Structure 1
Amino acid sequence: MTLSESAAAPVNEVVLEAAGLTKHFPVRKRLRDFFSRTPAVVHAVDDVSFALRRGQVTALVGESGSGKSTVARLLAQLYPRTAGDIRLHGRSTRVRGGRAFRAYVRRVQLILQDPFASLNPVHTVRYHLTRSLRIHGNAGRTAEDLDRALADLLTRVRLTPPERFLDVFPHELSGGQRQRVAIARALGADPEVLLADEPVSMLDVSIRLGVLNLLQDLKERLNLAILYITHDIASARYFADETIVMYAGRMVEGGDSETVTQNPAHPYTRLLTESAPDPERITGDGAGIDEAAGKDRGQGEPPSLISPPAGCRFHPRCPHAMRRCTAELPPRLTVGDRPGHWTACWLYDPATVAADAPGSAAPDADPAVPPPPALVEREDTATLGEAR
């Protein structure tokens, strides 16, 4: 599909879909492991499902080690999946190389985090872009066609005049310019999907907004579906239409970005939003700091993914954990405040909400842990401590 055909395609059409996507990495065996029937694996990604739609940005948010980049590499077919399915325009795809892989990456392109590492330092910008155009059959038939295609790519990513950048090496460019070259190289394939793996985390704060605005403009002009991976939930609110939160390899919350960032439901999402800088929470004399809330902000470290905890993987750090959370994996539960807002948290189970009503006692509540609050009706941005 050419760029003109892609731009004319209907907005919100599902282009790429992950269904129950799972990836386990084997662990190097030790002597005692040779006698075990169950080999040790890293549960990097478990049961991840979402869809990328044309003309929309979906943000995948979480702290380091939550499995975001692994999801991107699975969707790019760089890793074989352990379980689940990847559907391109509704058709299941599994490619491992050759012509099938080349046909797939012509439609699904990955933008890596570090532009200096993703560009070959001994080759010029002309070489990188020419190689992309020729591999995917977009270089034209003559030298003039190639020159026009190169100039068009650089103009799209706002590196103008193009002749100024064609014959320079990556080390002669700034970080933002290098990332724009990496984006131009991805556009050389005329893709339908861009998988942007933390595309601005290696850049100076002053130029991050320019790159995000560029991706936003490309999404609108070319009708692209974009997966935006980040650990900064504030930028997800600014840039993405939909936000999905991951923790320890699992999805814990999802919905439109405004709702997820301004009215978070899952305790981990609340922890992420509180960690984002907020001028209204910080004052010179410290008056804006709630000391009581600070005690309930999910202390501790992420769990081991070789032997992840049973039930909800966030329960060792959750201030609202119940006995049920330690044994049963929560499914997707509707929050009810906005259409499409869901969370994987037992606090939103109807039985839990009924048990938490005045005069009722939760049958499975841990006596050492205060009973969970009824958060279904909440639409404010209270902190975890205030919710208690």
Structure 2
Amino acid sequence: MTEQTETVPEARDIVLEARGVSKHFRVRRNTGDVLARRHRAVHAVDDVSLKLRRGTVTALVGESGSGKSTVARLLAQLYPLTGGEIHLEGRAVKAGRGRSFRRYVRQVQLIFQDPFASLNPVHTVRYHLSRSLKIHGRAGSGEADLEAGLVALLERVQLTPPQRFLDKFPHELSGGQRQRVAIARALGADPQVLLADEPVSMLDVSIRLGVLNLLKDLKDRLHLAILYITHDIASARYFADSTLVMYAGRIVEGGDSETVTQRPAHPYTQLLIASAPDPDRVVAPEEQQETGSGEPPSLIAPPAGCRFHPRCPKAMERCRTELPPRFDLEGGQWAACWLYDSATVTKEAAAK
């Protein structure tokens, strides 16, 4: 396993970084056993590290319940950390509210999955966007400045003419239009980072591409760092520059999106690729069995060793007892899997 060092320009490009971030949720039980309540917790996220760079999209991929949305909420400081650190532009971020929190959210904005739930149904588009501009000090000095700011936000998310949308309520908009309003509200803070939590999963298939193209255009024009959270690994290949694969609270593979999606290294990533619909792919029954089966483990009592080993068709004895570190592969790709430790593979083969 080799350690890669970053050049100075690459380090400067990092806007937001998570270092060994963990989040455990205490389990509340209707029982008089105080010790049971104290020690039982959901290990939603364990030792997650990632870097978001200016002008790039990083995809975080995994099935439901893997901890992807929890990572986004940790980066948005909606949840306190159980462990680890978050760094914004190289400086550690301290948990809290008040002015420091407001400065942080100006630079790091979260776009939620369901635009209808994230917009107040009793207020108009004008209210939502005006509030964003005012809170973050970008409303100008008068009504004319505010109106110009509202028009600019709607034009930026391609809702034109702006006057057609400003006085509409969320229920009067389509799903795609609501999500564009939610994106415009996030842009009202003039952020450097967008955390997009499955931004197109609640939309009709016919309009998903338009929203993804909008985010891609914003990334290029505003030089944003975007975290794109999705369960659709195929869209990660299209939209993201790099992809991280998450399973049961841990990141198990990473690299540039083309490599991860075309040459997946971790058995779980291979399972995700095999599960994606592809009308041109013909898979023999025996090959389907090799991708793994079963359900994700309980995160209250996660399995020892690699968390994927109960489902992994290539699991070895060491996988059941020891957590695999990150093994660097060719082209910047890496995988947390004992299959890439030659000593482990040799020992397993000799035992057979």
TM-score (norm 2): 0.95
CA RMSD of aligned residues (A): 1.6
Alpha-carbon distance, 1:33 to partner:
3.9
Aligned to 1:118: 118
Equivalent-residue separation in structure 2 for 1:206 and 1:354 (angstroms):
50
Aligned to 1:257: 257
**Partner secondary structure for residue 154 of structure 1:** helix
Counterpart of 2:344 in structure 1: which amino acid? T
* TM-superposition CA deviations, 1:295-331 (whole Å, max 9, x none): 2232110000000000000000000011100000000
Counterpart of 1:347 in structure 2: which amino acid? L
Equivalent-residue separation in structure 2 for 1:33 and 1:331 (angstroms):
36
Superposed, 1:109-148 pairs within 5 Å as: 109-148=109-148
Counterpart of 2:105 in structure 1: which amino acid? V
Equivalent-residue separation in structure 2 for 1:199 and 1:59 (angstroms):
12
Alpha-carbon distance, 1:342 to partner:
0.3
Equivalent-residue separation in structure 2 for 1:277 and 1:55 (angstroms):
30
Aligned to 1:180: 180
Equivalent-residue separation in structure 2 for 1:326 and 1:38 (angstroms):
27
Aligned to 1:28: 28
Counterpart of 1:184 in structure 2: which amino acid? A
Counterpart of 1:305 in structure 2: which amino acid? L
Aligned 8 A contact 2:27 2:37 in 1: no
Query: Is 1:320 aligned to residue 314 of structure 2?
Result: yes
Aligned to 1:191: 191
Aligned to 2:215: 215
Aligned to 2:326: 332
* TM-superposition CA deviations, 1:125-171 (whole Å, max 9, x none): 00000000000000000111111100000000000000000000000
Equivalent-residue separation in structure 2 for 1:291 and 1:139 (angstroms):
61
**Partner secondary structure for residue 48 of structure 1:** strand
Aligned to 1:372: none
Aligned to 2:284: 290
Aligned to 1:285: none
Aligned to 1:371: none
Equivalent-residue separation in structure 2 for 1:318 and 1:306 (angstroms):
20
Aligned 8 A contact 1:310 1:328 in 2: yes
Q: Unaligned 5+ residue runs, structure 2?
A: 1-8
Aligned 8 A contact 1:11 1:55 in 2: no
Equivalent-residue separation in structure 2 for 1:32 and 1:308 (angstroms):
24
Equivalent-residue separation in structure 1 for 2:115 and 2:33 (angstroms):
40
Q: For the structure 1 residues 106 and 355, does the alpha-carbon distance in structure 2 shift closer, same or farther, using more than 3 Å as the test?
A: same
* TM-superposition CA deviations, 1:60-117 (whole Å, max 9, x none): 0000000000000000000000000000011000232111111110000000000000
Q: Unaligned 5+ residue runs, structure 1?
A: 1-8, 282-287, 368-388
Aligned 8 A contact 1:346 1:352 in 2: yes
User: May I ask how many residue pairs the two structures share in their alignment?
Assistant: 344
Equivalent-residue separation in structure 2 for 1:95 and 1:36 (angstroms):
28
**Partner secondary structure for residue 194 of structure 1:** strand
Structure with more relative contact order (C-alpha pairs < 8 Å, separation 6 or more): 2
Aligned 8 A contact 1:271 1:298 in 2: yes
Aligned to 2:162: 162
Counterpart of 2:306 in structure 1: which amino acid? C
Equivalent-residue separation in structure 2 for 1:126 and 1:10 (angstroms):
39
Identity %: 72
Query: Is 1:99 aligned to residue 99 of structure 2?
Result: yes
Aligned to 1:386: none
Equivalent-residue separation in structure 1 for 2:32 and 2:335 (angstroms):
39
Aligned to 1:374: none
Q: For the structure 1 residues 311 and 11, does the alpha-carbon distance in structure 2 shift closer, same or farther, using more than 3 Å as the test?
A: closer
Equivalent-residue separation in structure 1 for 2:49 and 2:21 (angstroms):
6
User: In proportion to residue count, which structure has more helix?
Assistant: 2
* TM-superposition CA deviations, 1:12-33 (whole Å, max 9, x none): 7000000000000000135374
Aligned to 1:308: 302
Aligned 8 A contact 2:112 2:199 in 1: yes
Equivalent-residue separation in structure 1 for 2:48 and 2:30 (angstroms):
30
Aligned 8 A contact 1:11 1:54 in 2: no
Aligned to 1:88: 88
Equivalent-residue separation in structure 2 for 1:35 and 1:342 (angstroms):
40
Superposed, 1:359-378 pairs within 5 Å as: 361-363=349-351
Aligned to 1:345: 337
Query: Is 1:17 aligned to residue 17 of structure 2?
Result: yes
The structure with the larger Rg is 1
Q: For the structure 1 residues 150 and 10, does the alpha-carbon distance in structure 2 shift closer, same or farther, using more than 3 Å as the test?
A: farther
* TM-superposition CA deviations, 1:177-203 (whole Å, max 9, x none): 000000000000000000000000000
Aligned 8 A contact 2:318 2:344 in 1: no
Equivalent-residue separation in structure 2 for 1:56 and 1:11 (angstroms):
14
Aligned to 2:6: none
100-109 or 25-34, which deviates more: 25-34
Counterpart of 2:284 in structure 1: which amino acid? D
Aligned to 2:267: 267
Counterpart of 2:20 in structure 1: which amino acid? G
Equivalent-residue separation in structure 1 for 2:157 and 2:87 (angstroms):
29
